[in-house]
């Protein structure tokens, strides 16, 4: 499922900024928060897609 693969990619890309944020980098923390909002939206897209698949059966 393409939506899920996109979600996994987004999470993997956040890791570097997350490590920087844990080290005290405030700009990286801001980027992580912004990216997590996008992850939330992507997760919602996965959820919708799963419902579409289930409904079509």
In percent, the amount of the chain with pLDDT more than 90 equals 93
**How confident is the model over 28-43, as a mean pLDDT?**
96
Q: What is the mean pLDDT of the chain?
A: 94
Residue 39: the pLDDT is: 96
Residue 57: the pLDDT is: 79
Domain that holds residue 41: 2-56
Q: Compute φ and ψ for 24, nearest 5 degrees.
A: 105, 5
Contact 11, 39 (CB under 8 A): yes
How many structural domains does the chain have?
1
Read off the pLDDT of residues 22-35 as tens digits, 9 standing for 90 and up. Answer: 999 999 999 999 99
**How confident is the model over 29-43, as a mean pLDDT?**
96
């Amino acid at each position: 499922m393409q939506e899920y693969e996109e979600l996994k990619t987004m999470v993997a890309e956040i890791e570097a900024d997350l490590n920087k944020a844990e080290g005290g980098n405030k700009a990286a923390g801001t980027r992580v928060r912004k990216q997590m909002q996008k992850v939330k939206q992507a997760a919602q897209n996965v959820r919708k897609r799963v419902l579409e698949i289930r409904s079509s059966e």
